[in-house]
Amino acid sequence: MSLIVFAFAAKDIKSERIDTYHLQNLNLQPMIQISSFAFNPFQENTYVLYDETKECIIIDPGCYTPLEQAELSTFIENENLKPVRLILTHCHIDHILGCKYISDRYKLISETNKNEIPVFEHAERAAAIFGIRLEKPTPPGKFIDEKDVIKFCTSSLEILFTPGHSPGSLCFYNNEQKFVIGGDVLFRGSIGRTDLPGGNFDTLISSIQEKLFSLGDAVTVYPGHGPETTIGYEKANNPFL
Ligand SMILES: [Zn+2]
């Protein structure tokens, strides 16, 4: 299984190099470091964000096998990180497969949008449909929305409500470093699929155009599957938009 499971298949796109915005290239010290891990049969991107305070947040823990669980916790422990929040862009199974492991190990409750409750409740059936085992995590313990700000370390992330792929999809935006953790809304050369329960194609397109495109071309998108991209690159090349 691959990206295609949770996205429309990418059409032919130019293979030009992405002009990704890297603070390092500007000789600026990034405050937030972003580490990503591609986990589980869906190759879902799990993100760990942290800075020099060593507090970290974990977004969409997809670690599935004991090896993947160990990879994530070994990274956290080798970097001396202290996980302080567990955040979900949405509750499709590939994004929550490691939720129970992370909740138990670091004593964290998961946070997501309230519109994801039915998606979470459907997760066991979805796992059976895809033929994978799901250790059902405890239900999300805190609901977050656009009015909230995710504060951690010395930084913060704005919350964007971007439904369409899933009814409560959220993206997390950092204005200082110009990046967005995008879940399954916008991919390099593709967009999230909309044929799963609660999905809606027109809603997804509106979310991308109104919430993501307005962030500006220089913003780097860290998606739920596949490589990072930029808003500018997708505006110019994404065949779905
Ligand atoms: Zn998804």
For residue 142, the SS3 value is: strand
The per-residue pLDDT for 154 is: 85
The per-residue pLDDT for 18 is: 39
Contacts of 128 (CB under 8 A, 6+ apart): none
pLDDT per residue as tens digits for the range 48-74 = 999 999 999 999 999 999 999 999 999
φ, ψ for residue 127 (rounded to 5)? -60, -40
Query: Are 160 and 200 spatial neighbours (Cβ–Cβ below 8 Å)?
Result: no
Asked if the structure places residue 12 within a domain, the reply is: no
Q: How far does the centroid of ligand 1 lie from the alpha carbon of residue 6, in Å?
A: 6
- For 209-230, what is the mean pLDDT? 98
d(CA 94, CA 60): 8
CATH code for the domain of 233: 3.60.15.10
Question: Has residue 14 got a pLDDT over 80?
Answer: no
pLDDT per residue as tens digits for the range 83-140 = 999 999 999 999 999 999 999 999 999 999 999 999 999 999 999 998 998 877 889 9
Residue 42 domain boundaries: 19-237
Lowest mean pLDDT among 29-33, 103-107, 211-215: 29-33
Q: How far does the centroid of ligand 1 lie from the alpha carbon of residue 44, in Å?
A: 9
The per-residue pLDDT for 11 is: 42
Asked if the structure places residue 141 within a domain, the reply is: yes
Q: How far does the centroid of ligand 1 lie from the alpha carbon of residue 24, in Å?
A: 31
The per-residue pLDDT for 6 is: 54
Question: Has residue 3 got a pLDDT over 60?
Answer: no
- For 155-162, what is the mean pLDDT? 96
Averaged pLDDT of the chain: 89
Asked if the structure places residue 1 within a domain, the reply is: no
Query: What is the total count of domains within the chain?
Result: 1
Tell the burial category of 95 from Cβ atoms under 10 Å away from its Cβ (0-12, 13-18, 19+). buried
Asked if the structure places residue 6 within a domain, the reply is: no
Q: How far does the centroid of ligand 1 lie from the alpha carbon of residue 184, in Å?
A: 5
Q: How far does the centroid of ligand 1 lie from the alpha carbon of residue 42, in Å?
A: 10
In Å, how far from its chain's centre is CA 9? 19
Asked if the structure places residue 4 within a domain, the reply is: no
Q: How far does the centroid of ligand 1 lie from the alpha carbon of residue 28, in Å?
A: 33
d(CA 136, CA 124): 7
Which residues have C-beta under 5 Å from ligand 1, the single-atom ion? 6, 92, 184
Q: How far does the centroid of ligand 1 lie from the alpha carbon of residue 183, in Å?
A: 7
Q: How far does the centroid of ligand 1 lie from the alpha carbon of residue 104, in Å?
A: 23
- For 186-212, what is the mean pLDDT? 96
Q: How far does the centroid of ligand 1 lie from the alpha carbon of residue 109, in Å?
A: 20
pLDDT band at 13 (very low <50, low <70, confident <90, very high): very low
Asked if the structure places residue 56 within a domain, the reply is: yes
- For 29-53, what is the mean pLDDT? 92
Query: Are 176 and 224 spatial neighbours (Cβ–Cβ below 8 Å)?
Result: no
- Please say whether the dihedral angle defined by the alpha carbons of residues 44, 165, 126 and 61, taken in this order, is positive or negative: positive
- For 44-48, what is the mean pLDDT? 98
Please give the residue that has the higher pLDDT: either 154 or 29: 154
Going by the DSSP 8-state scheme, the letter that residue 209 receives in this structure is: I
Q: Which helix (H) or strand (E) element contains residue 57?
A: strand 55-59
Question: Has residue 157 got a pLDDT over 80?
Answer: yes
pLDDT band at 4 (very low <50, low <70, confident <90, very high): very low
pLDDT band at 29 (very low <50, low <70, confident <90, very high): low
Query: Are 198 and 18 spatial neighbours (Cβ–Cβ below 8 Å)?
Result: no
The per-residue pLDDT for 75 is: 98
The per-residue pLDDT for 28 is: 52
Asked if the structure places residue 3 within a domain, the reply is: no
Q: How far does the centroid of ligand 1 lie from the alpha carbon of residue 241, in Å?
A: 19
Asked if the structure places residue 61 within a domain, the reply is: yes
